[in-house]
Structure 1
Amino acid sequence: MKNAEPEHEPIPEPADLNGHFVPPPPLIPFTEPWEYELHFPRDARGPAVARTTLKAVLGAHGLGEFTDRAELLTSELATNAVRYSLGPAVVRLRWTNPVLRVSVMDTCPVSPLPLAQQNADAECGRGLLILDLLADDWGGCSLGESLFGVGGKTVWFELVLGGGDPPSGGGAGHGSGPRCPGRPCLPPDHRPAHRDPSRSTS
């Protein structure tokens, strides 16, 4: 005898304390700002969860144009957070038309040094090279003791809808320059300037 299909209770319509129907909230207009935040533990599955969440959010808000670049960059930063920190991490997505900013925060106060400032064969810093090539803007800084009650860092990148110019006042030169674990903090003017991937280098 086959197992019977489980019976599902109908989902009741949302109601207030007086039992009146509560209509669902309207969709946020495309040009209005929004923000999502995902907390995940120090677990090898964390970066995959972050990628899945990011794809779902961008798809729901009609920002599929960003998905490929954002997924790759978020994966790099989330993987670094899991690999080099000893605690949980946070991925935050913020949309302020036409800019998507993705920030990854973890409990490690030090960051990888850009590959250009170390041996060309080194593994450390390759994620930041990808950031430099694919992001419209990016940066990072150390955090105080507000994140999970301990110090840490945040590394962020921005993608601009339609490939326009990134907003002024952000990115290169603001905050502490990324650095490798165990290395001293580099002053902002030591960090390589953002490169436009559309320009060829000679």
Structure 2
Amino acid sequence: MTTVAPSPHAPWSYVLHLPHDPRAPRVARMTLRAALGGHGMEDRLDTAELLACELITNAYRHSCGPAMLRLRHMDGGWLRISVWDTNPLIPPPFDRPPGALRAVPTHPPADSETGRGLLLVQFCADNWGGYPLGDDLFGRGGKLLWCELAPTPGLTQAA
């Protein structure tokens, strides 16, 4: 029997279901590190970990139900991180098109203890967005926030 190793550049996807629990961001970070490390994507670990943690933390803080993290390596070497939660409200800065936000970023008041996490996603991701979902996903609706990291320059990527 012949064993064929998968291409390191082939598209793949992992999904992690998370309960509404304050430990969810930590579990998401550990899972992300294992998945990206297993696929030889250490070059994007730190940024991807920050982005996933901020999206999961947002889901925990602003919804009262479970969340779902999806990591997806796409054609061309792009990495997409998306988080679904039960709250259908799209928060700033994800409530406007990405191009508009890059031109005019909005910052929370200096004395605010919240509101910076999704700004970090905006500044660190190469692409991002969000949209409300109908009642088709698990019958709960909610929203999906996502961000993408471009392929690392200089590394060979699948076409």
Larger helix share, 1 or 2: 2
- The residue type equivalent to 2:147 in the other structure is F
Within 1, Cα distance between the matches of 2:10 and 2:21? 34
Within 2, Cα distance between the matches of 1:148 and 1:45? 22
Q: Decide whether aligned partners of structure 1 residues 26 and 43 sit closer, same or farther in structure 2, where only a CA change above 3 A counts.
A: farther
Aligned length: 142
Task: Give the corresponding residue for 1:54.
Answer: 32
Offset, 1:117? 6.2
Task: Give the corresponding residue for 1:31.
Answer: 9
- The residue type equivalent to 2:143 in the other structure is K
Q: Does 1:110 align with 2:100?
A: no
TM-score by length of 1: 0.64
Q: Deviations over 1:96-133 (max 9, x none)?
A: 13100000100011132237065454344311210121
Unaligned runs of 5+ in 2: 94-104, 155-159
Q: Deviations over 1:52-105 (max 9, x none)?
A: 000000000011111000001111110111111111000001101310000010
Q: Decide whether aligned partners of structure 1 residues 111 and 88 sit closer, same or farther in structure 2, where only a CA change above 3 A counts.
A: same
- The residue type equivalent to 1:140 in the other structure is G
Q: Deviations over 1:10-40 (max 9, x none)?
A: xxxxxxxxxxxxx696432012111100001
Which has more radius of gyration? 1
Q: Decide whether aligned partners of structure 1 residues 119 and 29 sit closer, same or farther in structure 2, where only a CA change above 3 A counts.
A: same
RMSD between aligned alpha carbons?
A: 2.1
Q: Which has the higher contact order (CA 8 A, sep 6+)?
A: 2
Q: Decide whether aligned partners of structure 1 residues 107 and 26 sit closer, same or farther in structure 2, where only a CA change above 3 A counts.
A: farther
Equivalent in 4, 8, 19 of residue 41 of structure 1: 19
Unaligned runs of 5+ in 1: 1-22, 165-202
Task: Give the corresponding residue for 2:101.
Answer: none
